[in-house]
A = this chain, B = another copy of it.
Amino acid sequence: MKNKYLVIYNDLVQMIQQGEFVSGDTLPSEHELSQQFSTSRETIRKALNLLSQNGYIQKVRGKGSVVLDHNKFEFPVSGLTSFKEISDQLGQDFKTVVHEVFTETANNQLRSKLNCSKDVKIWKISRSREINGERIILDKDFIREDIVPDITKSIAERSIYDYIENDLGLDISFAKKEIVVESVTEEDRSYLDLRDHSQVVVIRSYVYLADATLFQFTESRHRPDKFQFVDFARRTK
């Protein structure tokens, strides 16, 4: 966090969150900010673009940077967030139950999803996520064994992302994901407390490392009444 533009970004976020600027206000001009933070205008613009991308402000040419109502949504489980991060945020009663952790030679379908060759083995991990005593999410992970060689049950119980990033020192960068609704399977029935639901929300993600290798495919199956997704879409023409 020593990058100048990140420091400025965080300063401004904090000011907005503390109510120093409220919805409808305009921030000081880029010129003014560059003097206040004793930096160049391009660096200020980098910070402001970050604010804009994250929904804090909208830049209007000839007018200024208008502060938006950032609290319209209060529970942003958007982007790429691990179950552990969510549970840390919410402080409710969370638990992970691990069903399976083993490696297998990938079949054709999985090989094409993970762009890997015949001799690469794949970890298959299956976990239920309990919130307040109810199993509402079933996570099925497929991870390339040549990139993440060791996964144990206890790692899967804590956080695989934690292990990959902190212990292995790999850098998870981003994910492409698809959200659809599907009928429940036998597997869903046995690992989830479905009540009367006959459908689940399925999030399929392809996860990449910072060096652009695709190393994981995940299917996350959610009981529909507990599912929420928040998105922030800029219009591109």
Contacts and interface: CB of A to CB of B under 8 A. Distances in A.
Interface in A70-118: 72-73, 78-80, 115
A201 interface: yes
B179 A179 contact: yes
Given A224-B199, A235-B172, A178 B230 contact: yes
Contact of A229 (B175, B178, B225): B178
Contacts of A115: 23, 69
Given A115-B23, A174-B234, A212-B66, A181 B179 contact: no
Given A63-B211, A72-B206, A212-B68, A233 B172 contact: no
A193 to B, nearest CB: 16
Interface in A213-237: 214, 224-225, 227-236
B58 A180 contact: no
A112 to B, nearest CB: 10
A79 B235 contact: yes
A17 to B, nearest CB: 16
Stoichiometry, copies per complex: 2
Contacts of A225: 181
A180 B80 contact: no
A177 interface: yes
Nearest to A181: B224
A4 interface: no
Nearest to A26: B212
Contacts of A23: 115
Interface of A: 23, 54-55, 58, 60, 63, 66, 68-69, 72-73, 78-80, 115, 172-181, 197-199, 201, 206, 208, 210-212, 214, 224-225, 227-236
16 contacts: A58-B210, A58-B212, A63-B211, A66-B211, A69-B214, A78-B233, A80-B233, A174-B234, A174-B235, A178-B230, A178-B231, A180-B227, A180-B229, A181-B181, A181-B224, A181-B227
